Amino acid sequence: MTSTPRIGVFVCRCGINIGAYVDVPKVVEYAKTLANVVNAEENMYTCSSDGLNKIKEAIKKNDLNRVVVASCTPRTHEPLFQETCEEAGVNKYLFEMANIRDQCSWVHMREPEKATKKAKDLVRMAVAKAALLAPGDEPEIDVNPSSLVIGGGVSGMQAALSLADQGFNVTLVEKAPELGGMLRTLDTLFPSNIKASKVLEPLLQEIKANPRIRVITNSKVKTVNGFIGNFDIGVEGDGKQERFNVGTIIVAVGADLLKPDGLYLYGQDARVRTQAQFEELVKMSKMDAKRIVMIQCVGARNEDRPYCSRICCNEALKNVLNAASPGREIFILYRDLQTYGVHYSRLEQDAKRKGVKFLKYQPDKPPQVTAEEDGLRIEFYSPTFNEKVELNADLLVLSTPLVPVMDAKELSQLLKVSLNSNGFFMEAHIKLRPIDFATDGIYICGTAHSPKDIGESVTQALAAASRAAIPMARRKVRAAAIISEVDQKKCSGCGTCIEVCPYNAIRKNDKGLAEVVAAVCKGCGICGATCPEKAITMHHFTDEEIEAQGLAALKET
């Protein structure tokens, strides 16, 4: 039985984010009047090392066994404060946060008195819950130091090689007959215009020569169960099935090029090609057109695909530089040239020096293409000349965006990871965790994350290898303790919870009753809410705790 609660409350000013709108000293005084609170103080920045030291000192001085921090959002700062409590000897689950910034000062900037009153309510609720908190223990899980890489393009190959070079076994699954992905469809690569084979061949040889990498082609991942450190994988292909276990998974399934059917007469007139087809013509030196017009952002940066596909401008520039020759006229109709960074600005300059003409068009007045015998007539309003411009071309090349692969949806359900509104895989945090998924142990790299060029894909592949190597190098991972637990006495074995669990983290045990798989459970609470017998409790969010918070909310300050 935990000893009687001795709660310490720390109210943060967060510079002026809270301090300018909430009367922090008043909230601290009020906290002292609450039951079980033995110490309350304020900080300028609780998350600074000075603030964290103050928490540790207060715990020692006042022999605290519960801590409440009233500050900002748990999303970014809860782990930090939990670790601080643990270092001072208080179990990290005997900690509760009250968000008096995003949910209080920031939304009530214009009513400081009400904001202060609400801050007191939120602290009172947090203290009421803190009194009932029970310590949680995080079971340690063994991590199988081997990895599954899904997708054998440049990203998948590079990730596999890096993991192998770091000493881990890798299984590389590719649905096509051979590895290579887009490297096989491209002839040369910008910015240096080297042959794609120059990048592909070394990767293939290194993979073949590396004993730690097992390649399975013509196959797809069919089943994925388990959790970080212990994923059971089912792969099917070539009429065979395989089952094996890995510790981590890297998604590198790449992306496809949009086929611009129905746009600018594509598919109805042979003189309308995509950049990839144009490159093929140039490669086979079958490209003898004298007047070429290219149109950028075809099927991109519109309602259906509200994103810029990053590489089409540079791909078009690479192609025109290979095709430019005296006597051949090339026009590029663009909206915004994306020649960013030190490497790509040069492509734009080189193309212009070779006589390629760049003409801007406006999205609300897109080019009109009409087929005629002697060529394609392309009319568009040119803001450069403030007038309608008419070009006729014997070849029209469309720059189309990269789009998610067909089976992205299926794979996302298999791995229990989500896709963003454009259908690309959604990472844990777009800014600071671009490679991790929210689900531990699974990582994303390459164009499956979002459109990018070969160099940027290689970078993300190496990054995924580094992220995956962390749990595999440590061989151990601590699972979260905020999980649900089934009371075997109350459970009737109806299995409703098993159906609704999004992470299939509940199984029937040998007695036919429901049992939670600790490592897989994400603590989302759906099973607890659906269980007809009220047999499932959520650690850290028990009914009593929530009830105590609710009652505290209704009390007058």
Partner 1 sequence: MHVEDSPVASTFDEHRLHDTLMKMNAEVCDQCGKCPSACPVASRIDGFNPRQIIAKVCSGKEGELIRSGVIWTCTSCLKCKERCPEEISPYDIILALRRQSIREGQQHPAAYDDMVKAVIETGVITQPQPVRTRKRERKDRASLGLPPTQKPKDQTKYAEALQGLLKEA
Partner 2 sequence: MKPVLVVGGGIAGIQASLDLADRGIRVHLVEKSPSIGGVMAQLDKTFPTMDCSICILAPKMIECFRHPNITIHTQSELVSLEGTVGDFSVKVLQHPRSVDAQKCTGCGLCSERCPVKRPSVFQACLGQRKAIYLAFPQAVPLIATIDRDACLWFTQGICRTCETVCSANAVEYEQKENTIELNVSSIILATGFEQYNPKDIGEYGYGHYRNVLTALEFERLVCASGPTGGVLTRPSDGKVAHNIAFIQCVGSRTQTTGYPYCSASCCMYATKEAVLIKEHEPSSHVTIHYMDLRIFGKGFQEFVDRAQSNWGVRYVRGRPGEITEDPASKDLTIHYEDTEVGKVEKNTVELVILCTAAVPNSDNNKLGGILGVKLDEYGFFSTKDPISSPVETSRQGIYVCGSCHGPRDIPESVAEASATAAKAAEDEARLEVKG
**416/437 Cα distance (integer angstroms):** 10
Binding site for partner 1 (CB under 8 A): 349, 352-353, 355, 357-358, 360, 384-386
Say which entry of partner 2, partner 1, none residue 355 contacts (CB below 5 to 8 A, set by partner kind): partner 1
Tell me the closest approach of the beta carbon of residue 343 to partner 1, in angstroms: 18
Q: Tokens 């531990």 correspond to what residue?
A: 440
Token pair listed for 378: 């392309």
- CA dist 379 → 120, 264, 399 (Å): 66, 11, 18
Closest contact distance (angstroms) between CB of 296 and partner 1 is 15
Distance of closest approach, residue 357 Cβ to partner 1, in angstroms: 6
Q: Measured between alpha carbons, how far is 163 from 147 in angstroms, rounded to an integer?
A: 8
- For the chain, the maximum distance between any two Cα atoms, rounded to a whole number of angstroms, is 91
The partner in contact with residue 25, picked from partner 1, partner 2, none with C-beta cut-offs of 5 to 8 angstroms by kind, is none
Residue 10 or 361 with smaller CB distance to partner 1: 361
Tokens standing for residue 235? 């792969």
The SS3 of residue 184 is: helix
406 versus 432: smaller Cβ distance to partner 2: 432
For the four alpha carbons of 111, 112, 114 and 119, in that order, the dihedral sign comes to: positive
Task: Please identify, using beta-carbon distances, which residue of 8 and 145 lies nearer to partner 2.
Answer: 145
Among 15, 21, 26, CA closest to 51? 15
> Residue 358: which of partner 2, partner 1, none does it interact with, CB under 5 to 8 A by kind?
partner 1
Query: How many CB atoms are closer than 10 A to CB 341?
Result: 8
Nearer to partner 2, 34 or 464 (CB): 464
Nearest-approach distance from CB 356 to partner 1, in angstroms: 9
Local structure of 540: helix, strand or coil: coil
Phi–psi pair at 92, nearest 5 degrees = -60, -15
Least distance between partner 1 and beta carbon 349 (Å): 6
Interaction partner, residue 429 (partner 1, partner 2, none; CB < 5-8 Å by kind): partner 2
The entry of partner 2, partner 1, none that residue 357 binds, CB within 5 to 8 Å by partner kind: partner 1
Considering the complex, what minimum distance in angstroms separates the CB of residue 401 from partner 2? Answer: 11
List Cβ neighbours of 80 (8 Å cut-off, separation of 6 or more). Answer: 47, 52
Query: Which amino acid, 305?
Result: R
Q: Which is nearer to partner 1, 49 or 386 (CB)?
A: 386
Unique residue bearing structure tokens 């899980």: 141
Nearer to partner 1, 84 or 296 (CB): 296
473 binds, among partner 1, partner 2, none (CB under 5 to 8 A by kind): partner 2
Instruction: Give the shortest CB-399-to-partner 1 separation in angstroms.
Output: 19
505 binds, among partner 1, partner 2, none (CB under 5 to 8 A by kind): none
d(C-alpha 319, C-alpha 296), whole Å: 13
Residue number, 402 or 483, with CB nearest to partner 2: 402
